[in-house]
Each structure stands twice: as structure tokens, then as C-alpha cells.
Amino acid sequence: MKKNAIVSFRGQKDIAATINLTGSKSESNRALIISALSKGVVKVENLSDAADTVILNRILRDLEINPATEKQTVDVGHAGTAMRFLTAYLSTLPQQFTLTGSGRMQERPIAILVDALKTLGADISYEKNEGYPPLNINGGLNSDAAEVSIKGNVSSQYLSALLIIAPTLPLGLRLKIEGGLTSRPYLEMTLNMLAATGIQHEWSDDTIYIAPQKHQEATLVVEPDWSAASYWYSITSLADTGDITLTNMREESLQGDSKIQEIMIALGVRTSRVPDGIELKTGTSVDIQEVLNLKDCPDLAQTIIVCAAAKGLNLSFTGLETLKIKETNRILALQQELAKIGVTLNEDNEVYTLNCDALAFPEKMTIATYDDHRMAMAFAPLSLLIKEVEIEDYQVVEKSYPDFWKDLETAGFTVNEL
């Protein structure tokens, strides 16, 4: 049963805390599929405890331990990354599957990936609605084609799913990216992780080529999650004074969301390197005139937009189009919830602009989360400015950051389940 919680912060808004973040969900899920394709040659350490990763790990273990002789149903629930990566991975296995997910997952498009896999010889059909899960997969992809074109401006996970299986295909894969590329750092993360397991690639202009090749013995160590770190940047920004240490964060990160260090300078947060990680400190905000392009880090959008709105900054953003096909339509969700503090988020030709002229904080507000973990975590820091913030379905954070509420309490917040 879904439960709500009241989040509040009593007393002086001075926060000093040390937080140990979970491993990156993005890295973990890529590492798990790479390990499965390597037949155990590649090991994985420091896996995320996010629900998406737990689900994917369980599915892969079940497939390894109990290879089915009959058609098998694989249910990913809300795990979007698992749906994309498994669509490609299951196509390579000589078995039959029905790949399904939650009601919302069955509303999230997957035709672009399915069409690309079909070009490579995959046998995939739609069980219900054309272009959407559930999928019927007759695996054992034995491609006599090695080239596919795919749009780069929808979801980088489609491209990553194809690249991860590429070295196991008989002819490898030549992947041509059509149009602009969204979330390039996520694609670079995939290629860097493959390289760490001995898989070489060539990237020239809009084409990536991976020849058929074997994984080499390797251990992929997952680093902490920069998207989880982003909520602590928001808290540091909205506190009177903040001094927060995030342990084990790497200076050189594979994650595009590490860009939060640079972006949040404008919102008054300074990042410095300390022996056991990074330290966030409250500083002075910087006036921003240009449009902030979040194309390479869309998972930061809700955190940054809510924080900017709470500070009364009429900022403009672009690169947000993929937010409409996430766990919910995140643009619409932001518009509806920001309206509760008098803020509008207006769209003009794919540029989104905050209008905070009517910003006002009530004594108490209730935030709908729309089955979206990032809505809960992006709005929770408003409890520094509002006496009580009620978060609907507050346990939705288990999807990516199960310890979020416990970590908030470590930092001095009060979280009371209703």
C-alpha cells in the first residue's frame, strides 16, 4: 500500500553532514548486462541498492540458474533501464520470452529499439499495443546484418542497449546515429565500461563500430551515484549554511550527472575535493543570463528546476524533451507541482522558462509524485522553506535511492510516515 510522509526541518537551517551514497544505477545496470554477456568473465562490485538494479540483478540470476525450455515471462515492473537493456539482451538468448512491466511501463514507447533489433534479425512482436511493451521475443538473434540507423535524440538507452550486445553479434555492429544525440555522456559511459572489459570500438562522426570480440577478465567497480548527489546540492543551496561531505565520489567520473558540480555554482554551491570524497558548501549565487542546456544530463532537470524556482530565479532551460517519456511526463508533473508555490514553467519552442514572480511558500504543501522517484527527492528539500511538505507515495524513492529518507534524517530533517 502506498504511504505518505511529512518532511520537515526544525530550528536553524544550518546543515553539516557526511553522506554515503548508493552506487550508480546507470553504471550498475550496464555492468550487470555486460557481465551476463561475458558468461561471468566480467565481475561487478559495489552494485547499487536501487530497486531497478535489484530487479535487473534478480532477473539475470534467475535466467542463469533456471534457463527455461518453455516460454518465460520476465516482468521488470517500473524499471525502465531494465526494459531497454533486456529487450536487446533477451534477443540474443536462444529462448522465448514475454517481456513486460508495470502499467506505466506499458505506456512508454520502445518501437525505435525494437525496429533497430529487427533490422539486425531479431524476432520481436507486440503483445498488446504496437510500439509498446509487453514484447514477445523469440531469441537467438543470428544476424546477417551488421548496420543499423537509430535516432539519437530520444533515449540514449536505446543506443547503449545495442552497443552492449554488439560484440556478441556474429558480424558486430555499425551503429549510425541519426540527428542530434541526447545524453552523450551516457553513451560514453557505456563505451568506457565496455573498454574496461577489453571491448574496443571506433567512433567516427555519427557512426560507432564494434567488431565481434570476446570480453576479457575484468572487475567493474561501480562508483557512487551523481544523480543522488544532486539532491544534496539542492539542500546545500537552500540551507542558510550547508557543509555536506559526500564520500567516495570520484574526481573523474563516467557519469554525465557529475555536471551538477558546475551547474550548481550558479545556485550558490561550491564543490571541493577532500580526502574521502567531495565537500559541498553554501556560497553566493551567480547571475545566469544564458539558457541552461540539460541535454546531456536530463536526470538533473527536476532537481535544478525546483531548486531554482525555490530561490526565485527565472531561469530558462533546454534539452528537456526526453522528460516527457520518463516514469511520468516530468514536464507536466513539474508544472503542476510548481504551481503550488506560485511558479510557472512555460514552454516556447523547446525552451522552458521559470516565472517566479508570484512565488509564495505556504505553511504546508502536498507533493504528488506520479510514480516518479525523482519528483519525491527534487521537492523534499523545500521542507527547508516550508514547515511541512507532505510527499505522496514517499517510498517511490526505492527505485534509485532507497536510503534517501534515512540520509535526510542524518542531516537533521524529520520524516514522519502517515
Contact 48, 24 (CB under 8 A): yes
Q: Tell me the catalytic residues.
A: 299
Burial code of 2-33, b = ≥16 C-beta within 10 A, e = fewer?
A: eebbbbbbeeebebebebebbbbbbbbbbbbb
Q: Where are the alpha helices (DSSP H) in 110-218?
A: 111-119, 156-165, 184-196
CA–CA distance, 234 with 308 (Å, rounded to integer): 9
CA–CA distance, 83 with 124 (Å, rounded to integer): 14
Dihedral angle of Cα 82, 84, 86, 90, to the nearest 10 degrees: 170
Each as own residue / partner, the long-range contacts of residues 68-77 (CB below 8 Å, 24 or more positions apart, any chain) are: 68/95, 70/96, 71/96, 71/97, 71/98, 72/96, 72/97, 72/98, 73/97, 73/98, 73/100, 74/98, 74/99, 74/100, 75/100, 75/101, 76/100, 76/101, 76/105, 77/51, 77/101, 77/102, 77/105
Q: Angle at CA 299, nearest 5°, toward 297 and 302?
A: 115
CA–CA distance, 345 with 392 (Å, rounded to integer): 22
Per DSSP, the chain holds a count of helices (H) and strands (E) of 12, 22
Cell, residue 249: 565520489
- Taking the CB of residue 43, how many other CB atoms lie within 10 A of it? 14
Nearest-CA neighbor of 107 among 146, 68, 134? 134
